[in-house]
Amino acid sequence: MVSFNSKKMVSINFTPDSLNIVSGKFNKKIVIVDKAFRVELEDNVYDDGEILDMEKLAYTIQNELSLNKINTNEAIAVINSSSVIMREATFPKVEKNELDSIISYQLDEYIPVNTEDYVVKYLDLGTIIDEGLEKQLVLLIGIKDSLIQAHMNLFKECKLKPAVMDYEGNAINKLINYGGRINTLVPKLNSVAVVNLSLKQTDFVIVDNKRLKISRIIDKTIKDCLNNIESQIAGIETENIYKKFFSFNKLKDSSDQNDQIFYGIAKEELYEIFERIELILRYYRSRENTNPINYFVIRGIGAEMDGIADLFKEFFDIDSYALKNMENVKLPSSLNLFASAVGGLIRLDEVKK
């Protein structure tokens, strides 16, 4: 049985280039967000789950919460890091207390690092039949204890009450499962791939049959694309690169030769991101009991690129949609920048200690 937490909270999604913040609550079937705002971060403040400048980050959060008149102090942190470890594992079907003991005892077999440095929790993925026996399937998620403590200390500096720390892959999984139809028309289906194209972070999630199956950070970002374009086209201003990049599809049929050159380079850069995603898809497809991907959902600032969904469809031959809204999420702005923060508001009892 799943229980729901309908208390109003503030959810902060931390990324290297921004804080994506929402305040609201989840009440059984719907997420109600009353405020949503994005705060850009300077370089060397936050990266890959690490707080690089505690003082500046704390000041930024306190200032923005005050400016936006956020009146709740219970806060959720939604983070992602390349150091996060995910492993599926099967165990005997036993009572929860006994399962907790078994997982704790066998943890070193599944988490290939010093487990004393990690906080490991698990998602209950239900039961399976393995060689005629019913077994418990779980998803182990390990996050560095140092990351957790740093974010908890940050919240205390901001005079916020830390409610929970959520993993971004888990937040997106909950959003896909409880958010309903995408962009009003796209129905819920079994297997959905979600790509986050933030300026300085690209990550990839697969939700299959309501289960988080894949959550990876991709080692190429929009920022990398922009830098590479700038290095290949002489004399172009940085601001103009950004503008052209996000007007991507409009350059395709331009009669301007410079636009055609820009389009070709930009497409190659984006395809390098897609090729990295394709490698993960091949791994996913090689596993047993997986379903074909029904469609891609594109989120983050990259979802605002003109023609990005068409480019995904062209490369992967899978229907693709730039995220705008979901039927069970009431939000005062487009969802694409706030998907992880909104997913963080969906509090369930599925995460076990």
225-273 residue pLDDT tens: 999 999 999 888 888 999 999 998 888 888 999 999 999 999 999 999 9
pLDDT band, residue 5 (cuts 50/70/90): low
Average pLDDT estimate for 190-207: 96
Q: Where are the beta strands (DSSP E) in the chain?
A: 9-14, 18-27, 30-40, 46-47, 50-51, 74-79, 85-92, 118-130, 133-144, 161-167, 191-197, 202-208, 211-218, 295-299, 320-322, 329-330, 351-352
Number of domains observed in the structure of the chain: 2
The pTM for the full model equals 0.93
| Residue that finishes a domain, picked among 144, 168, 192 | 144
**pLDDT above 90 (res 36):** yes
Residues 113 and 186 in one domain: no
228: containing domain: 181-325
Q: Is residue 305 part of a domain?
A: yes
Contact between 148 and 134 under an 8 Å Cβ cutoff? The reply is no
Residues 206 and 137 in one domain: no
E strand or H helix at 265, and its extent? helix 257-286
Q: Is residue 104 part of a domain?
A: yes
**Percentage of the chain with pLDDT > 70?**
97
Residues 135 and 200 in one domain: no
Enter the tokens of residue 166: 């959520």
Q: Is residue 44 part of a domain?
A: no
Q: Is residue 75 part of a domain?
A: no
CATH code, domain carrying 321: 3.30.420.40
Q: Is residue 41 part of a domain?
A: no
**pLDDT above 80 (res 350):** no
| Residue that finishes a domain, picked among 144, 159, 190 | 144
pLDDT band, residue 185 (cuts 50/70/90): confident
Separation of alpha carbons 61 and 39, rounded Å: 9
Tell me what the pLDDT averaged over the chain comes to. Answer: 92
Enter the tokens of residue 243: 């503008």
Residues 217 and 302 in one domain: yes
Burial of 174 (0-12, 13-18, 19+ CB in 10 A): buried
Separation of alpha carbons 119 and 122, rounded Å: 10
Spell out the residues 6+ positions from residue 234 whose beta carbon is closer than 8 angstroms to its own: none
Lowest mean pLDDT of 44-58, 108-122, 199-213, 298-312, name the range. Answer: 108-122
Q: Is residue 231 part of a domain?
A: yes
Residues 208 and 271 in one domain: yes
CATH code, domain carrying 136: 3.30.1490
Contact between 342 and 26 under an 8 Å Cβ cutoff? The reply is no
pLDDT, position 294? 95
pLDDT band, residue 349 (cuts 50/70/90): low
Alpha-carbon distances of 45 from 14, 116, 199, 321, rounded to whole Å: 11, 27, 15, 32
Residues 195 and 134 in one domain: no
**pLDDT above 50 (res 113):** yes
| Residue that finishes a domain, picked among 125, 144, 163 | 144
Residues 129 and 261 in one domain: no
pLDDT, position 351? 44
Residues 99 and 235 in one domain: no
Residues 291 and 191 in one domain: yes
Separation of alpha carbons 24 and 217, rounded Å: 27
Average pLDDT estimate for 327-340: 95
Separation of alpha carbons 34 and 22, rounded Å: 8
Residues 192 and 137 in one domain: no
Radius of gyration for the chain, computed over Cα atoms and rounded to the nearest angstrom:
21
Q: Is residue 345 part of a domain?
A: no
Q: Is residue 155 part of a domain?
A: no
Residues 185 and 277 in one domain: yes
Residues 244 and 123 in one domain: no
**pLDDT above 90 (res 187):** no
